[in-house]
Amino acid sequence: MDNIKEDLISQIYTYFPKDVGILDEAYWTTKEFLNLKEKCQLIADNTSLWNSLYDSLRELFPYYLIIDKTAYHDFDRCYSLIITFNNQVNNIKYFEVFVSYIVPYYLICLTETDGKGSYKYSIYPFDSSNTVNEKTLFDLNIINETILKMFPYKMITPSIGKTILNDIAFQNLDFGEMSIYKAVFTNYIFPKSKSIINP
């Protein structure tokens, strides 16, 4: 586990400069930021594989609302999908899919909200304490299998993903706010003001 975390952090540091603040003008000319900028542009110019995954999931789940949330030009580090399967008032449930394009890792979570600002995130695969109905688990397994056919990546476990990297900052995240999850996916994953992480 420690070797996996160390390797992941080492890869992250190739895209985020250490100890350079977000208000420092030098940030935007560091080799690390330029690496990230180049990678994001490369992905934006080559979307065929991601489009194939999106199309496959739409075929598998024709009755679910599937939205591509990928922000190619905002320096997000991942492809992102929302798959809504329950959209009732005060009981909205959807799958969130994140596939990093700076490291070979991905994440699937089940998100539940009451529509009033309260969110619960359950990281897949679930442990024995998580009571998810068979249909939801079946759908999650299909999503996972479909991702792996196109992106032979690994999942980031919460014990690794929630680790804070104190020496990097980016955009709206200052020192002490950047987790591994945020570094490899997006600044806006699991907004702490509205979330209950339930790995």
CA distance 52 to 117: 33
SS3 72: coil
pLDDT of residue 92: 79
pLDDT of residue 71: 87
Q: Which amino acid is at 72?
A: Y
> Which two three-digit tokens encode residue 1?
């586990």
pLDDT of residue 35: 96
pLDDT of residue 106: 95
Give mean pLDDT, residues 166-194: 86
Q: What is the CA radius of gyration of the chain?
A: 17
pLDDT one-digit tens code per residue, 145-159:
999 999 999 999 888
Are the beta carbons of 171 and 187 closer than 8 angstroms? yes
**CA-based nearest residue to 81, from 93, 94, 91, 72:** 94
Q: Indicate the number of domains in the chain.
A: 1
Domain of 137?
2-198
Give mean pLDDT, residues 99-128: 84
Mean pLDDT of the chain: 88
pLDDT one-digit tens code per residue, 52-70:
999 999 999 999 999 999 9
pLDDT one-digit tens code per residue, 26-48:
999 999 999 999 999 999 999 99
pLDDT of residue 193: 45
pLDDT one-digit tens code per residue, 181-199:
999 999 888 765 454 444 4
pLDDT of residue 197: 47
Evaluate if residue 129 carries a pLDDT over 80: no
Are the beta carbons of 199 and 158 closer than 8 angstroms? yes
pLDDT of residue 112: 83
> Which two three-digit tokens encode residue 173?
């995240």
Q: Would the pTM count as exceeding 0.85?
A: yes
